[in-house]
Amino acid sequence: MDRRTFLAMMSVVSLSSLSAGRAESSTTKISKPIPSSGELVPVIGMGTWITFNVGDSQRLRDKRSEVLKRFFELGGGMVDSSPMYGSARSVVGEGLRKLEYPEGLFSADKVWTNSTAEGIAQYNEMQELWGLNQLDLVQVHNLVNWQSHLETLREFKQQGKVRYIGITTSHGLRHQECEQILQTQSLDFIQLTYNITHREAEQRLLPLAAEKGVAVIANRPVDGGNLFNAVQGKPLPAWAADYDCQNWAQVFLKFIVSHPSVTCAIPATSQVEHMEENMGACYGNLPDAAGRKLMSDYINTL
């Protein structure tokens, strides 16, 4: 067992212990295992799409570094990015260097190109932008040229250049192709869209990922902000306190990560206070099946 895994295990709380009492559970970080290794990752990670694409503005880069700092202070781990996200990876890398690479970092990036050779170049660029010799996770973004890229990533994994490999999709697209890949390929991760109003993944992909021992990252956890629009001006229902939810962000995120097949959700934000709200979902009680139904039924009435 390496030091990273040991430290993660020390922070985990089992789902069976979540009902032991709010006072105790609210201070214990919730982590879940990566099925292929048993390594634990905090259930709330961080996306960087749009929010970290701030170009060369040093003022905005410094603000994003503060968001990143607060993320790790509150127990965050997975930071997800992509060459599709403009300057986001450069901004993340700058922030990580300022923070001297926090112990809990779990780096997740993607290859996104039709060219196999360009995919290799993108990996080399990842190392430079993140300032890392080894990436924790590299995914094939939106299945572009996935056959060739997975072959390359398997070689990189054998060489120790990357620890885990996976594929991504979003917006409920390409689920049939993702299912075929899960059935035929050896993967560590799949990233897909899953939130309280977009639950298509429950039909086949989430059960299949569990069956195949593949970790699941949930993107678009607040549906690009649309979920907040739906509840704007509405107070939290009384039942939110049963799951230690102090704001709507925590309701939305705890619904996602309480699904047994979901490993981690990756909300994106440019605001420190919103990061604090998001990370609150990494602590406290999670809803059981009845609680999840209560949450979804309520949202469906809006």
Q: What is the pLDDT of residues 153-209, one digit of tens each?
A: 999 999 999 999 999 999 999 999 999 999 999 999 999 999 999 999 999 999 999
Amino acid 27: pLDDT: 75
Q: What is the DSSP letter of 89?
A: H
Full DSSP string of 158-196: HHTSEEEEEEE--TT-SHHHHHHHHHHS--SEEEEE-BT
pLDDT over 70, % of the chain? 91
For the four alpha carbons of 80, 82, 85 and 91, in that order, the dihedral sign comes to positive
Q: Examine the pLDDT at 4 and tell me if it is beyond 50.
A: no
Average pLDDT over residues 281-299: 97
Evaluate whether residue 17 is within a structural domain.
no
Split at pLDDT 50, 70, 90, the class of 54 is very high
Residues 220 and 265: their CA atoms lie apart, in Å, by 8
pLDDT tens, position by position, 79-96: 999 999 999 999 999 999
* CA distances (Å), origin 258, targets 26, 41, 101: 15, 14, 29
* 280 in any annotated domain: yes
- 61: tokens are 């880069």
> Does residue 114 lie in a domain region?
yes
Neighbours of 133 (CB within 10 A): 8
Asked if residue 36 is part of any domain, the answer here is no
Report d(CA 79, CA 162) in Å as an integer.
15
Tell whether 156 is covered by a domain: yes
Among 268, 274, 269, 284, residue whose Cα is nearest residue 248:
274
What was the pLDDT predicted at 296? 97
Mean pLDDT score, 57-61? 97
Does residue 7 carry a pLDDT above 60? no
Distance CA 64, CA 126 (A): 19
Mean pLDDT of the chain: 92
For residue 29, being part of any structural domain is answered with: no
**Sheet strands side by side (includes 46-47):** 46-47, 78-80, 106-111, 135-140, 162-168, 189-193, 215-219, 264-265
Does any domain span residue 178? Answer: yes
- Under 8 Å between Cβ of 256 and 218: yes
Bridge partners, 41 (sequence order): 32
Binned at pLDDT 50, 70 and 90, residue 215 comes out as very high
Q: pTM of the predicted model, to two decimals?
A: 0.91
pLDDT at 37 over 70: yes
Per DSSP, helices labelled H in 74-186 are 88-98, 116-130, 146-159, 175-184
Domain count, the chain: 1
Asked if residue 27 is part of any domain, the answer here is: no
Q: What is the CATH number of the domain that holds 62?
A: 3.20.20.100
Judge whether residue 10 has pLDDT over 90.
no
**How many helices (H) does the chain have, and how many strands (E)?**
12, 10
As given in the structure block, the two tokens for residue 192 are 């897909």
Q: What is the pLDDT of residues 228-273, one digit of tens each?
A: 999 999 999 999 999 999 999 999 999 999 999 999 999 999 999 9
pLDDT at 1: 42
Q: What is the pLDDT at residue 200?
A: 97
Domain that holds residue 264: 41-300
